[in-house]
Amino acid sequence: MLKINPKNEVNGIMELKLLSNKKKKHPLRYIALGAVIFIFLISSFVTIATTNKHIAEKQKELDAIRNEIRIQEIKNAELEHVLNYSDEEYLAYVISKAHTDLDYVRQGERVFVNSAGN
């Protein structure tokens, strides 16, 4: 777009100025854009931090479950070994389990209780 400016005459010739149709960019626009980007980055960091925390918690749970699996596999191996016992070995095993795990007492046995708790 051309604009004639009569105030800027040089030797009686009017100066012609070429005006562009570009709009001026407001600095408020840049501030708003920066604020949006900043908020996005902060929320991204918070999300990543909470996700890492949850991953660490789940990793601890997984380790605990793996330990329980190892313990159960040892118990299973012991029971598989018991299946191969002879009748006399099996009877001795059952009696020892009754004494240790179930606190059974044979007839005529004396039981001593530690009242000190040690």
In tens, the pLDDT along 13-71 reads 555 555 555 566 678 888 999 999 999 999 999 999 999 999 999 999 999 999 999 99
Determine the Cα–Cα distance for residues 100 and 69; give it in Å rounded to an integer: 23
Task: Please report which confidence band the pLDDT of residue 74 belongs to, taking 50, 70 and 90 as the band edges.
Answer: very high
Which residues are within 8 A (CB) of 105 and not within 5 positions of it... i.e. 6 or more apart? 99, 111
Question: Global pTM?
Answer: 0.51
- The most confident of 6-10, 73-77, 100-104, by mean pLDDT: 73-77
Query: Number of C-alpha atoms within 13 angstroms, CB side, residue 26?
Result: 5
Mean of the per-residue pLDDT values of the chain: 83
Q: What is the pLDDT of residue 2?
A: 47
56: Cα separation from own chain's centroid:
5
Tokens at 1, concatenated: 């777009």
Of the pLDDT bands very low, low, confident and very high (cuts 50, 70, 90), residue 7 is low
